[in-house]
Amino acid sequence: MIQENVTEDATGLKHWIFEKLIELGISEQSAQYLNMLILLVGLLIVIFLIDIIIRKLLTGTFSQFAKRSKTNFDDLLISNKVPTNIAHIIPLLVAIEFVPDVFIDFGDFENIIEKGLKVFAIILTLWIARSILNTLKDYLKTLPRFKDKPIDSYIQVFMIFAWLGGIMSAIAIITGIPFLKFLTGLGAISAVIILVFKDTILGFVASIQVSINDMVRIGDWITFEKYGADGDVTEITLATVKVQNFDKTITTIPTYALISESFKNWRGMTSSEGRRIKRALNIKQDSIKCLLENDIENLKKIELLTPYLEARQNDISKYNKNNNINKAIAINGRNLTNIGVFRKYIQTYIENHSAINKDMTIMVRQLAPTPQGLPIEIYAFSSDKRWVNYEYIMADIFDHVLASVSYFDLEIFELPTKFSNT
């Protein structure tokens, strides 16, 4: 009943303005145009005022509710302009209702404006959906269990399909073709659509696999040599993964590259009890020798080696004596070597180092000889996994190891800096 009264009032107003213009001596055709223009301006003013009033009411109500609420979800609704977008619905409905009265004498204009309003209604629906989804995304990122999940990818996928549906609906409205018939015709160009959205489709599949297989999370440290990436993952979207390198530069990697190529994720290290130290120093092979009695006595002065040397010296002496070994030549029988004792010293030193995790593998091993000497590799795990502290601990260990080499009559291999002329 109210709707009918409003329509009758609008129709009466339209005729009243038209009749007044005729009374002023304006031609009928001109009066129709002026009547349409006056009604259009009046409708725009009314729509503008309604939009302002509704927007202020909604945003004010939401703001008051957000202040009293304990959750931050309503605050995010306001920051993502959900109330503002919803406020546009009532002015749009008013426009759709009264446009036929404004353009009643101009059927072509009325048809164009009505189609435009329907297209705007589709766009407004998409705006509201996007703002709600962005609010949901921001809220989920505040929750610990969703903080490292690629939520952006899923929202982007939904919005891509929503925009595609919206665009197709808009085209169907503009052309006047029924939506189902339009979709049927669209199947003929599906191959072109797949080609155009190839990267998007690949990214969508990749983001699902990355999430399901838990390959990468936001905050993970990854190394991707092909793309020059070495740093923390800051964002995972449908098409790209952003990595902030340690030099503060940003590297962008295609999402599908994470499942099609090899990269290194350091999460296993950060979630473990230690960070691996694996580094070798090369010993000159001609400095390696068997130890004589006086050499052993001198090395006994090194406190970390004293118990080991005494025990080994007794075992070796008993063996050589029981087997009547001629020790006139050092190589006969069993012997201690400076490289072996040095290796034992490093092992003992690392086992007593306060920054090394004693519950993880500790090993000092000899690698295969090379033209650059005999590698002695230290394999252990630092308790502190932070990069700066880890580098300091590793440097501290090798400072000591390099300084101790000379006490065992060993030499570090170095490439010669000068070559003689031939």
> Exposure of 49 by Cβ count < 10 A (0-12 exposed, 13-18 middle, 19+ buried)?
exposed
Residue 202 lies in a domain: no
Q: Are residues 295 and 254 located together in one domain of the fold? A: no
Q: Point out the domain boundary residue: 246, 271, 296.
A: 271
Q: Are residues 241 and 284 located together in one domain of the fold? A: no
User: Average pLDDT of 281-309?
Assistant: 91
Residue 200 lies in a domain: no
Please provide the average confidence, as pLDDT, over all residues in the chain.
81
> Does residue 419 have a pLDDT over 60?
no
Maximum C-alpha span of the chain: 141
Q: Point out the domain boundary residue: 157, 177, 197.
A: 177
Residue 233 lies in a domain: yes
pLDDT at 63: 81
Q: Point out the domain boundary residue: 237, 254, 271.
A: 271
User: Average pLDDT of 190-200?
Assistant: 66
Q: Which residues contact 5 (CB under 8 A, 6 or more apart)?
A: none
Residue 305 lies in a domain: yes
Cα(352)–Cα(345) distance, integer angstroms: 11
Q: Are residues 260 and 287 located together in one domain of the fold? A: no
> Does residue 11 have a pLDDT over 60?
no
CA 367 and chain centroid, separation = 39
Residue 64 lies in a domain: yes
Q: Are residues 304 and 266 located together in one domain of the fold? A: no
Q: Are residues 121 and 30 located together in one domain of the fold? A: yes
Residue 201 lies in a domain: no
Q: Are residues 31 and 139 located together in one domain of the fold? A: yes
The owner of tokens 């793309």 is: 227
pLDDT band at 7 (very low <50, low <70, confident <90, very high): very low
Q: Are residues 33 and 93 located together in one domain of the fold? A: yes
Q: Are residues 216 and 254 located together in one domain of the fold? A: yes
pLDDT band at 305 (very low <50, low <70, confident <90, very high): very high
Find the domain containing 227 and state its range: 211-271
pLDDT digits (tens, 9 = 90+) for 122-140: 888 888 888 888 888 888 8
33-42, 182-191, 235-244, range with the lowest pLDDT: 182-191
> Does residue 65 have a pLDDT over 60?
yes
pLDDT at 19: 64
Q: Are residues 159 and 230 located together in one domain of the fold? A: no
Residue 17 lies in a domain: yes
Q: Are residues 22 and 157 located together in one domain of the fold? A: yes
Cβ-based neighbour number of residue 296 at 10 Å: 18
pLDDT digits (tens, 9 = 90+) for 77-125: 878 888 888 888 888 888 888 887 777 767 677 788 888 888 888 888 8
Please say whether the beta carbons of 275 and 269 come within 8 A: yes
pLDDT digits (tens, 9 = 90+) for 345-396: 999 999 999 999 999 999 999 999 999 999 999 999 999 888 889 999 999 9
We report the CATH number of the domain holding residue 260 as 2.30.30.60
Q: Are residues 291 and 159 located together in one domain of the fold? A: no
Which own/partner contact pairs does 301-306 have at CB distance under 8 Å and 24+ positions apart? 302/345, 302/407, 304/345, 304/348, 304/349, 304/352, 305/341, 305/344, 305/345, 305/348
Q: What domain count does the chain have?
A: 3
Cα(348)–Cα(303) distance, integer angstroms: 11
Q: Is 265 helix (H, G, I), strand (E, B) or coil?
A: strand
> Does residue 46 have a pLDDT over 50?
yes
Residue 421 lies in a domain: no
pLDDT band at 408 (very low <50, low <70, confident <90, very high): very high
Please say whether the beta carbons of 312 and 296 come within 8 A: no
Q: Are residues 121 and 150 located together in one domain of the fold? A: yes
pLDDT at 405: 94
pLDDT at 5: 47
